[in-house]
Structure 1
Amino acid sequence: MDGSADTLKTAVVIEDDPDIRHLLAEVLESAGFSTVSIGNGLDGVRAVAAYQPLITTLDVHMPGIDGFEAARRIRAQSDTYIIMLTGLDDETDVVLGLGAGADEYLTKPFRPRELRARIDALMRRHRQSPPTPAVPAQDQVGPSFPVRPPVIPVATPAATPAATEPSPTSNGQDTLPDDADWLVHRDLRVDPETRIAALGLDELDLTRTEFDLLATLMQSKRRVRSKADLTLVLRGESYVTSYLVGEADKRAVEAHMTNLRRKLGDNPTNPRYIETVRGVGYRLTSEDLIAS
């Protein structure tokens, strides 16, 4: 990213408490973002569609739609990094928030320095290409924020259906590159370079975090990775870090792992791909195990 693009970083703050909204905007602006502040979930979803921000902070309890529903709607149209903030710290809420598409989860009250650290860590992570910005209709945009004209992509010649919609069950070669540098475990394959994960001939639809967790475990093979270790990996840190890893971080890793296993069709009690080492962390199953 060049310097001019970096100066145009945008963040959307979706928070009904004006004091917290102001604090979030201050932290984000200190990190180099221009901010758009919204007081409710529905207008927040529309603001994300209009601005396609790099970062979106999202409160859970808001008037209109709650943060979980807002996250689902945002994730359906944007690849923005979502940081959910709430006063709740129950594991169920962590699972719901991350399952709805959040990348990070902070409980209130939070420390501004911790939020800034999480933002910096997200910016160090690989970012997928965002979808084409949605063009909101004039009567769909709430009055609480201005609409920036969307960038209209240059039209390209239409491709034939066969070229744009390959059958995922044909032979796998239409969607899975043959020259990829695959990490392989049984019928599970991961290419860290192209960020493609496949189960058999079918490409997996993983979030950034789920892919990072899976790639880390694939690279580590039978070496156990602790929840604290995986937290640092997701933050883009190594083993020496100044960031604290709390219980909420570990629960977040558990929630991401639950979602990942579900997409792999993996049973934690009789795993084919990822096994839990009780009290320690996670690792790949043995290649010698025979799945039942």
Structure 2
Amino acid sequence: MAEQRRVLVIEDDETIASAVRNRLAAEGFDVRVAGDGGQALAAYAAFEPDLVVLDRLLPGMDGLEVCRRVQAARPVPVLMLTALAEETDVLVGLGVGADDYLTKPFSMRELVARIHALLRRVERAGQLAGEDAVIRAGDVEISTAERRVFVRGAEVRLTRTEFDLLRRLAERPGQVFERERLLADIWGFSEAAATRTVDSHVRALRRKLGSGVVRTVHGVGYALVRP
């Protein structure tokens, strides 16, 4: 029997927290809930979750600071929930270590799909840990075994999602990947309404790697620029 996965839900809205907890419990997860930043950090240390669902806006210590501290203590996949749909707010969340995000209001179906996709990526990363391959594309060097990225010799820290997206593009430099295909390959589902997720992660990659690394093909998708 597979080990039950642990999910920590950090959400101050009791209605949302209860709905998320009940749905994830029904999906077979072991779920704990925290209502503010202080409770969240204590629960994180005691519960040692496999994944965190984190509200961006919390009383006291906000979600961004919670995410920073969580990733500094023990890196774990973080799915951030945000009522702030502006691109800048999303990129800030990705910049402090969130692996993915959902904009409120969201469907429970999509939440569960994102959680499963994040956990599959962690499993896949573990399976690939022994495969020592280096992918080079221009100034970018990707170590698949160590999951490390270098630009002109300087290491750049990426989230799990950013790394997986970059590696997928780097497997075929110059080839255009449709947004729907990237959603299926990286997030584990393909819905036209969710392609904004891909766009946000590409923008986050550009901020970290430089604007000339990933090329936009308007109306189609993205490609890693050939050297």
**Smaller-chain TM-score bracket:** 0.7 to 0.9
Aligned residues: 223
Q: CA deviation at 1:195?
A: 2.6
Question: Structure 2 counterpart of 1:253, which letter?
Answer: V
Question: Structure 2 counterpart of 1:22, which letter?
Answer: S
Stretches of structure 1 that go unaligned for 5 or more consecutive residues are 130-178, 288-292
Alpha-carbon contact 2:137-2:226 (below 8 Å) kept: no
Alignment of 1:273-288 (within 5 A): 273-287=213-227
* Alignment deviations for residues 242-277 of structure 1 (CA, whole Å, 9 cap, x no partner): x5242xx4333233223322332x2x2xx2x32222
SS of 1:120's partner is helix
Q: Per residue, is there more helix in 1 or in 2? A: 2
The structure-2 alpha-carbon separation of the partners of 1:188 and 1:108, relative to structure 1 and needing over 3 Å to count, comes to: closer
Alpha-carbon contact 2:41-2:66 (below 8 Å) kept: yes
CA distance in 2, matches of 1:190, 1:208: 13
Q: CA deviation at 1:124?
A: 1.3
Whether 1:244 and 2:196 are equivalent positions in the alignment is no
CA radius of gyration, larger in: 1
Percent identity reads 38
CA distance in 1, matches of 2:59, 2:40: 11
Whether 1:96 and 2:92 are equivalent positions in the alignment is yes
Question: Structure 2 counterpart of 1:255, which letter?
Answer: S
Q: CA deviation at 1:66?
A: 1.8
Question: Structure 2 counterpart of 1:250, which letter?
Answer: T
Q: Per residue, is there more strand in 1 or in 2? A: 2
2:141 maps to which residue?
189
CA distance in 2, matches of 1:126, 1:193: 13
SS of 2:94's partner is helix
Q: CA deviation at 1:46?
A: 2.5
Alpha-carbon contact 1:57-1:83 (below 8 Å) kept: yes
CA distance in 1, matches of 2:22, 2:139: 47
CA distance in 2, matches of 1:197, 1:121: 22
Stretches of structure 2 that go unaligned for 5 or more consecutive residues are none
TM-score, with normalisation over the residues of structure 2? 0.85
CA distance in 1, matches of 2:132, 2:11: 43
* Alignment deviations for residues 162-208 of structure 1 (CA, whole Å, 9 cap, x no partner): xxxxxxxxxxxxxxxxx943222224222334433333444432221
2:159 maps to which residue?
207
SS of 2:59's partner is coil
From 103, 114, 118, the counterpart of 1:118: 114
1:225 maps to which residue?
177
Alignment of 1:1-292 (within 5 A): 3=1, 6-7=3-4, 9-127=5-123, 180-235=132-187, 237=188, 243-246=190-193, 249-264=194-209, 266=210, 268=211, 271=212, 273-287=213-227
The structure-2 alpha-carbon separation of the partners of 1:96 and 1:263, relative to structure 1 and needing over 3 Å to count, comes to: closer
Question: Structure 1 counterpart of 2:164, which letter?
Answer: D
1:168 maps to which residue?
none
Alpha-carbon contact 1:48-1:78 (below 8 Å) kept: no
The structure-2 alpha-carbon separation of the partners of 1:12 and 1:279, relative to structure 1 and needing over 3 Å to count, comes to: same
Alpha-carbon contact 1:183-1:219 (below 8 Å) kept: yes
CA distance in 2, matches of 1:65, 1:73: 11
* Alignment deviations for residues 2-21 of structure 1 (CA, whole Å, 9 cap, x no partner): x36x13x2111111111211
Alpha-carbon contact 1:98-1:252 (below 8 Å) kept: no
